[in-house]
Structure 1
């Protein structure tokens, strides 16, 4: 099996579709992760601007890594705010969700340990998986029987990594079932809440009041929170371990204070604006009522559409663009060969007329 080969023997994935850097088009956004529409929210933008006016020097760089010249009272204060709000021991800020997951996974799993990940976890987790030196397995997506079969033959410290809301299929992990198996086999669970934060309040773990069941939770701010950066929510012991050992943290320049201040402002705005989540859910319900063959959960902003046999996915994207609708086709190796699809992001600020136009075109390819 591919996932049993030594790291140096693992083949590079075949690129089926050439990736290109393209200018950002103007149109109705059905492809970004701005689920709550904060990037276009004038009130939120005004509050971020006011934060900058109050702290103009915060926009400049912190001049070095957190362990040299880059630490600040602002960063540590915001980490304290995050810990209190999420009801966890502590938090550690990172420049992005990618670096947070890379730091966490690559640092924790050592020789003699076992790491088991859902086959559909984000590339940031997979890159940490490839860098780790323990035994590594992937279990079939959301398949608890397969996960248990791997747990039965695991040894050393055992870690399981899952996402709460999967970015390429729009479905959720069965968190309670994962935790139950982890307890049975004395494993630790690492959770990525990148696409759930904001969409489901403070994330699905917090919503279900099970955040203390996880060894670590990654939350990111470049999606529904409308900003940039990430944080790992964890125990004091794990935070200290990462500070001492995680290369992506140790050797990265600290984020500017402004990013941390903006993150706090985004949380404050989110907590004051529950109607954004209600509006998003109403739009998801409306879109799903179209009768289109969509594969995603009923409350997920990520909706997956596969064109009928004989239709062109590229042709669909081009027709949507001509109509002023911005969408994105997902190709291998991001998804398995044969699973090419249109990934549609529903936002809180979409108008029904926008969705009606999208639905009308999609029906010609269903």
Structure 2
């Protein structure tokens, strides 16, 4: 036991010495430039009222699923919601998972078979990489958003080929070149899998995500739709062919051996989907505010902000490294702005940044205030 404790303590001490020790913090009362609640649904009184009314309709269902869906945990609300999800994202079928992490792990650990090959964008979420580690297929990373590098890596391909990307990247905030990727996958017979976690709600006429916004739903093999961001809820779904749903029910251990989502989570998702088409003004406001902040920050000496056109902004300092970045984040919190640093190993060494999220409920005054605070704090 003492050896185990010593090992853990040493690992934590090593991370602390590097300035990268993670800790849980609360920052109540600060202006939110941190959360993924892009459209404000997590704090929406309208959504709360929808949920309260809908819960009466489903009051006959148990509070918890009571077991995995293959045993006691399935009921008609699951099936009804999955049909809604599939139709909304223009897919044939959908299967719910308990989180975006579990959806990616459950899909990518089960689908690629021994002898197959998966190519993934190096900036892809940790859940996608973890799923691939559990797969028997070979996997290779390609440089972020670099289709030419992907083409060169195809020399390693055997069996069925899969290409795995995010539509909007959670750290970089930029978009995958989905049209180019679709064409490449069609040329070589590869299946394209797109994680829409940070695009759902923001892109598409009804917030369906970037795949649907670009009219690529027939060319993308599977979409992973995550609900803890713009949807203000919990859980995730894999959207794709009916045979994929059937396959995951039979082979995805993350689905088979997990208790189903509780009824309240399902009702919340049902109501969020009912409200999402009405939020066009919120989508446009968040993007307009982000564009203003992007322009303001790139006029501050010593600051570089990327990308243009995203509500997820990476704010990098030209000098000072991790220590200066952490000090700036602390200063901004003292000034009333909830902004957090993102440090290695979450991002590569030398790519430390403030990850600034702009929301529909932010104001132009808050945008200007944050820009002035950053200029003052560097």
Q: Same fold (TM over 0.5)?
A: yes
Question: Are 1:337 and 2:349 counterparts?
Answer: yes
**Secondary structure of the residue that 2:70 maps to in structure 1?**
helix
Q: In 2, Cα distance between the equivalents of 1:365 and 1:209?
A: 43
Q: In 1, Cα distance between the equivalents of 2:356 and 2:61?
A: 35
Partner of 1:289: 295
Hey, which bits of structure 1, 4+ residues long, moved more than 6 A? none
The equivalent position to 1:71 in structure 2, one of 74, 77, 94, is 74
Q: How far did residue 275 of structure 1 move?
A: 1.2
Q: Any stretches of 5+ residues in structure 2 without a counterpart? A: 1-10
**Secondary structure of the residue that 1:159 maps to in structure 2?**
strand
**Secondary structure of the residue that 1:335 maps to in structure 2?**
coil
Q: How far did residue 285 of structure 1 move?
A: 2.1
Partner of 1:362: 374
Q: How far did residue 70 of structure 1 move?
A: 0.4
Shift in CA distance, 142/122, structure 1 to aligned 2, threshold 3 Å: same
TM, length-normalised to structure 1: 0.93
Identify which range, 85-94 or 342-351, moves more after superposition: 85-94
Q: In 2, Cα distance between the equivalents of 1:142 and 1:50?
A: 44
| Residues 184-199 of structure 1 mapped to structure 2, 5 A cutoff | 184-199=187-202
Question: Are 1:280 and 2:290 counterparts?
Answer: no
**Secondary structure of the residue that 1:269 maps to in structure 2?**
helix
The equivalent position to 1:303 in structure 2, one of 305, 313, 316, is 313
Alignment RMSD, CA only?
1.7
Q: In 1, Cα distance between the equivalents of 2:305 and 2:241?
A: 36
The equivalent position to 1:148 in structure 2, one of 142, 148, 151, is 151
* Maintained 8 Å contact 1:294/1:303: no
Identify which range, 301-310 or 291-300, moves more after superposition: 291-300
Shift in CA distance, 234/25, structure 1 to aligned 2, threshold 3 Å: same
Q: How far did residue 328 of structure 1 move?
A: 1.1
* Maintained 8 Å contact 1:288/1:294: no
Shift in CA distance, 291/29, structure 1 to aligned 2, threshold 3 Å: closer
Q: In 1, Cα distance between the equivalents of 2:60 and 2:33?
A: 35
Question: Are 1:179 and 2:182 counterparts?
Answer: yes
Q: In 2, Cα distance between the equivalents of 1:106 and 1:165?
A: 22
Q: In 2, Cα distance between the equivalents of 1:224 and 1:196?
A: 8
**Secondary structure of the residue that 2:162 maps to in structure 1?**
strand
* Maintained 8 Å contact 1:305/1:343: yes
**Secondary structure of the residue that 1:213 maps to in structure 2?**
coil
Q: How far did residue 156 of structure 1 move?
A: 0.5
Partner of 1:216: 222
Question: Are 1:241 and 2:247 counterparts?
Answer: yes
Aligned length: 354
Q: In 1, Cα distance between the equivalents of 2:135 and 2:171?
A: 24
Q: In 1, Cα distance between the equivalents of 2:21 and 2:90?
A: 43
Q: How far did residue 282 of structure 1 move?
A: 1.9
**Secondary structure of the residue that 1:66 maps to in structure 2?**
coil
Q: After superposition, give the CA deviation of every residue in 1:232-270 in whole Å (9 maximum; x if it has no partner).
A: 001111111100000000000000122122112111111
Q: In 1, Cα distance between the equivalents of 2:311 and 2:59?
A: 35
Q: After superposition, give the CA deviation of every residue in 1:102-139 in whole Å (9 maximum; x if it has no partner).
A: 00000012210101100000010010111111111000
Partner of 1:4: none
* Maintained 8 Å contact 1:304/1:344: yes
Question: Are 1:49 and 2:52 counterparts?
Answer: yes
